[in-house]
Structure 1
Amino acid sequence: MKKIIMTTLSLGLLMGLSTVVFANTSSKTEGYAAELTHFKLTNPNITSSEVDSIMKQREELDVLYKQLDELELRYGIRVDNTKNPHKEPKHLDDLPTAQREKCLQLSIKIWDEELQFLDAQYKAGLIKEDMYTVEKNNFKSFKEKDLQELTQLTKR
């Protein structure tokens, strides 16, 4: 239970903090000017290519999070209470080894993408060094925890 809470809080925090300087990209043609303006307010020297790159990375990260959501729903780690209000979620540790491995591998991939996205934001001057350092250490710690758990699983 402790791991689920920690993972859920981490992912929630991650998703919230990763989008601090990043607005919704749902409407690309209308939103591009607004995005560029938003980024220019944070860093007037940012280039259009940097904005494009950051937006593309965010979209890729969103796809990974969507895959994780779908996987967790399919495996029962996350429950849609609108469809079945009395169903209890499963714990990651209760899943078969293959399913746990798949969840952990996707989680590790997300941490890698988060680190790349964080680096891109920092290099583009969109986040300050202190926030960058703290977030980078957090992401590395989360990734390392998942890597250790995956290693333990594969040794069995």
Structure 2
Amino acid sequence: MSSKRSRQKKPADQEFVVEKIIDKRLKDGKVEYFLSWKGFPPSDNTWEPEENLDCPDLIRVYEIEEARRQQAAGKNREAQVDMANNGFDQGLEPEKIIGGTIFQGQIMLLVKWKGKETASLVPSKIANERCPQLVIKFYEERIHWNVSSCT
């Protein structure tokens, strides 16, 4: 994969090879990429207009990776929004706790709301206060008692 671009850095023309695309921006309505150059330190990284580049494979790899990062960031934002807008905040009544998980170091319970098809994650501390009997029932359904006969 030959990723080359001609630039004039000194009086003599030098051929520069793009090592990696680091970032992307729009400037004056045109796409520019922040590039690291093979054989040069990070202090020599530069923003270059897309039309000056001859490295379609590197651009494609960068765009795919960026799409994955954006998708992952979107999922994290959705999870935070769901937790921030749980049913208690909307005045809904909990029907049942259907699951639990640890999210960002905190025990979260998945609460199904009466009259709704969806459930939302609620911090266990809030569920313990707002619907303690449902929390107890959830844990009781999952406890395995070791019953031994005493003779």
Whether TM exceeds 0.5 here: the answer is no
The structure having more radius of gyration, on CA atoms, is: 2
Greater share of strand: 2
Greater share of helix: 1
